[in-house]
Structure 1
Amino acid sequence: MPRLPRLAGVTAAALALGLLATAPAAGGEPTVSDPHVVAHFDFAAGQTPENIALEPDGSADLTFAGARQVANVTRAGVTRILATLPEVADPDTPNLGAAVVLGIARAYDGTLYVNYATGTRETGIWRIAPGGGTPVQIAQLPSDGLPNGLALDERRGVLYAADSVLGTVWRVPVEGGKPTAWVTGAALDPGKVPPASGFGANGLRLHHGAVWVSNTDAGSVLRVPVQEDGSAGPIQTRATGLVGIDDFGFLERHRDTFLAALLTADQVALVRPDGTRTVVLTRQDGLSNPASVAVRGRTVYVPSSAFFTMQDPNLLLARVHQRDRG
């Protein structure tokens, strides 16, 4: 995948800010240890892992953004391509130019859903059958947008997609069909003034009855409650100052505590419910522009995209030690 041309402009600014403002680890809070890279990928072939969904066996389904592929990677690092999104003639994806596959979500039965951004009518949400196969487009999203993070709410039968350019969270029936602009607002918009990258709403997770969204240009994480009727409640800002944030993943035993992938800083930060944070993984651990995070039990998964370093896209695993805090 080519480097992200507009986002590259913020790299120097992010590094100049140095380490995030942090708070010391409190007794009994989660710690991360034993980071190790289990799989290395081919940057020249577009194997730039951008987003992640986990399988019941502990393997990871990754989107290879530049290769337009979805791959399964075991905990031992064995990689198998599950699907390739169709090639698009003359892609014109906002901010990027190239056609890229970004967010991914997994259904209970193993069906995968991915966001495909092309700048053409192929932009939208695509479905992949359990075990892999030929992707099928189930929803068209605006070609002048950039669908990025993706999450599935099987109870309500809907998918949510964060649009980084249009500052929108789209809501789409899981069976496919017309998208609805579920929530919009300035808090989701990309920045307008340099060194803004042009990436607003980015990562997206469902957590405790709400849709959580990161905004890369704002360095923020937002919480949007899902109302009883399925509509969006008021946008709440839950963390700020997360320079270069891409996606994030919640810890299972600590309410509203998450690990944030800080792509431009080559860091993963532990972010507490009060917004304070501590850097827990760095480039010295093997990170190379981390793009997302997933957590299951005591295992942390971090795909590194290498979008800027252009070296060693990989999948890193680490141990998280958690104690219940309620």
Structure 2
Amino acid sequence: MPTQPDRAAATHLGDVRVLAHFDRAAGQAAESIALEPGGGAVIGMIPARQVVRVARDGAVQVLVTMPLPPGGGGTTPVVGDPVVTGVARSDSGAVHFLYSAGQGGLTGIWQIRRSGEPRLVVPLPADTMPNALVIDGERDRFLVTDSTGGRIWQAPLRGGEASVWSADPSLAPGGFFGANGLKVHDGAVWASNSDHGTIVRFPVTEGGGAGRAEVRARGLEGIDDFDFTGWGTEILAAINQTSKLVRVGSDGAQETLLDAEDGMQGTTAVVVRGNRAYVTNGANLVGNDSCLLIAELQRR
């Protein structure tokens, strides 16, 4: 793939500011983002096992803290300790999140009830490491990446049993994490692979199944989450291991937009809404400033 930036029509960043800082010493390593109306966001926190809400003014409210599994945990695949990872918000406002807890019957997709109590809606096997959570509204289903199993799972939005949607080799880990970030875009499911540094596209078949995998970007080792800018298949990618936000053009050309010199510390997730990108730093590998940033998108 080309590595030089696509100057013809590229997204760049204008004003970048921190909306909220989190308590990294208390385990609040920001991992995922689900936007809410009005400019707020819901964030998954590892290893605090929390879901928090960030208001438009930056105020942080803990919505739920998940219990430790029997025996205190330590059986979560690869990472050991139990963690909250992906979050998603339905059109009705329901907040769902992923909890990976190893043994103990707690791993799966959870919903935060109106009372504030969590409810398990889709159990997943104890040997999975569910990471990214997407609501595929067109087909009334959840989609979930399994980073250690190298799979994408699907489950009905009403809850119930999950099944493997794809176990294509392109999703497999190379020693640590495989399938990680996940998006539904333009009739296809897109997934990142952290170990292989790729973004893979799966066309969705007429029956809702996975078509043939196609690698659309390479050279992104350590990639976590990603999102589309709204210009074709141009992507913003959060590179966790090297603390970067990278633009990936529709032709595969890459350009670093933010890096450690801009305050990036273990960049974990990015979500685009309109002309804004919301970016989380987990500070899970370097630094101690776990935070949520907002960046203005510009086109030139």
Alignment partner, residue 274 of structure 1: 251
Q: Distance in 1 between matches of 2:2 and 2:15?
A: 24
| Residue 51, structure 1, aligned to residue 32, structure 2 | yes
Distance (whole Å) between structure 1 residues aligned to residue 291 and residue 225 of structure 2: 16
Matched ranges for 1:142-157 at <5 A: 142-157=125-140
- The reply to whether residue 30 of structure 1 matches residue 7 of structure 2 is no
- How far residue 172 of structure 1 moved from its aligned partner, in angstroms, is 0.4
Task: Give the match for residue 123 of structure 1.
Answer: 107
Q: Aligned pair count?
A: 297
Q: Deviations over 1:239-292 (max 9, x none)?
A: 01102100001112x011110000011100000112111000112222111101
State how far apart, in whole Å, the 2-side matches of 1:291 and 1:24 are: 22
Q: CA RMSD in A?
A: 1.6
Q: Percent identity among equivalent residues?
A: 40
SS for the counterpart of 1:293 is: strand
Who is 2:226 aligned against? 248
**Where does structure 1 lack aligned partners over 5 or more consecutive residues?**
1-19
Partner of 1:12 in structure 2?
none
The runs of 5 or more residues in structure 2 that have no matched partner are none
State the partner residue of 1:16: none
User: Hey, what's the Cα distance between the residues in 2 that align with 1:24 and 1:248?
Assistant: 18
Structure 1-normalised TM-score?
A: 0.88
- Asked if the contact 1:269/1:278 (under 8 Å) is kept, the reply is yes
* Alignment partner of 2:49 out of 59, 64, 68: 68
User: 2: CA distance between counterparts of 1:96 and 1:214?
Assistant: 19
Q: 1:287 aligns with which of 264, 277, 281?
A: 264
Any idea what SS the aligned residue of 1:108 has? coil
The CA distance in 2 between the partners of 1:300 and 1:187, in whole Å, is 28
Rounded to whole Å, the distance in 2 between the matches of 1:209 and 1:173 is 19
Match of 2:190 in 1: 212
Q: Which has the larger strand fraction? A: 2
Question: What amino acid is the match of 2:150?
Answer: G
Local SS of the residue matching 1:115:
strand
Distance 2:36 2:19 in 1: 16
Q: Report the TM-score, using the length of structure 2 for normalisation.
A: 0.95
The structure 2 residue matched to 1:98, chosen from 81, 94, 109, is: 81
Q: Is the 8 A contact 1:62 1:72 kept in 2?
A: yes
